[in-house]
Amino acid sequence: MKYLTPASFAEAASLARDASGVTRFLAGGTDVLVQMRADIVTPDTLIDIKHIDGVRDIIRGADGGWTIGVATPGAEMKEHAELGAEWPGVVEGMDLIGSTQVQGRATLTGNLCNASPAADSVPAMVAAGVEVTVSGPDGSRRVKAEDIPVAPGRTSLSKGELISAVHIPPRGDNGGDAYLRFIPRTEMDIAVVGCGVNLRLDGDVITEARVSLGAVAPTVLLVQACADTIIGSTLDEAALDRLAEAASAACNPITDKRGTVKFRTHVAGVLAQRTAKIAYGRAKGETK
């Protein structure tokens, strides 16, 4: 196995393009190293991106949005007061990953590119409207977070491409987001269902909404039908009922050791309601 430490994304991209066999990027390594130890994936080339300048930075953009470096661990995001105040859902989604030890390493980018349907930060990123910069040998492009995973364990990135930055949009006024997951234990578990909600209000009325679901389909879903049930409402009982129905209807899960189709479908509806209520409270400025 070759272990490489490029100093720039351009170098990383050309190393990846020229590598043969199985290539992995090493961000926090909390998926890659575990998969190596468990004899699931043994890469031929391991490209550590942590030696590139600025990969651990959290930067406020001119438009008020945020750029998160691709090696920024969850713990840094959690400690960033402004980021947490504006995007509590994204920070929570990331913070739910693993334990204190894992938080010292794990990243948004790694969570997105590992492409697990149950990845915890991804529904929150998708609901928030996050985009990433993809750098390749021939330059770079912006891609929506929801367009990165294409199937369990597979991304839309082509050979030689990697993510070089994560962009969270400006929060703007009267907005709020939230992420909830259901796990049988209280920690150290994989989401049986995850739900992200991001919305904006005009007074009490929801004017914009994005609702995402995790672990109920091969990839994280952005569900327009869910958003439609609550846009224009004050998140009253009737709207919440419609939301739960739409969330359950959007599910296309499997039965496995972590949950049945029936259970996942039902709990998706419950979680969508609970998550929407938290996001709504935050948008109103009533809760943090």
Ligand X SMILES: Cc1cc2nc3c(=O)[nH]c(=O)nc-3n(C[C@H](O)[C@H](O)[C@H](O)COP(=O)(O)OP(=O)(O)OC[C@H]3O[C@@H](n4cnc5c(N)ncnc54)[C@H](O)[C@@H]3O)c2cc1C
Judge whether 135 and 158 are in contact, CB under 8 Å.
no
For residues 146-205, which are near ligand X according to CB under 6 A?
157, 162-163, 188
Judge whether 80 and 92 are in contact, CB under 8 Å.
no
Q: How far apart are CA 118 and CA 96, in angstroms?
A: 12
Does position 256 interact with another protein (CB under 8 A)? The reply is yes
Does position 237 interact with another protein (CB under 8 A)? The reply is no
Give the residue, chosen from 1, 34, 150, 205, that forms a contact with ligand X under the rule CB under 6 A.
34
Q: How far apart are CA 175 and CA 198, in angstroms?
A: 7
Does position 38 interact with another protein (CB under 8 A)? The reply is yes
Cα 49 to its chain centre, rounded Å, is: 19
Residue 227 backbone zone (phi > 0: left; psi -120 to 50: alpha; other: beta): alpha
Site string for another protein, 99-138 (x = CB under 8 A): ----------------------------------------
Picked from ligand X, another protein, none, the partner binding residue 113 (CB below 5 to 8 A depending on kind) is ligand X
Judge whether 181 and 96 are in contact, CB under 8 Å.
yes
Coil/strand/helix, residue 259:
strand
Q: In this chain, which stretch among 24-32, 141-149, 184-192, 228-236 interacts with another protein, using CB under 8 A?
A: 184-192
Tokens of 196: 């992200």
Q: Binding residues for ligand X, how many (CB under 6 A)? A: 31
Q: In this chain, which stretch among 100-108, 236-244, 264-272, 273-281 interacts with ligand X, using CB under 6 A?
A: 100-108
Picked from another protein, ligand X, none, the partner binding residue 81 (CB below 5 to 8 A depending on kind) is none
Is the Cβ of residue 109 or residue 265 nearer to another protein in the bound state? 265
Give the residue, chosen from 20, 62, 139, 185, that forms a contact with another protein under the rule CB under 8 A.
185
Closest residue by Cα to residue 168 from 117, 211, 197, 133: 133
Does position 24 interact with ligand X (CB under 6 A)? The reply is yes
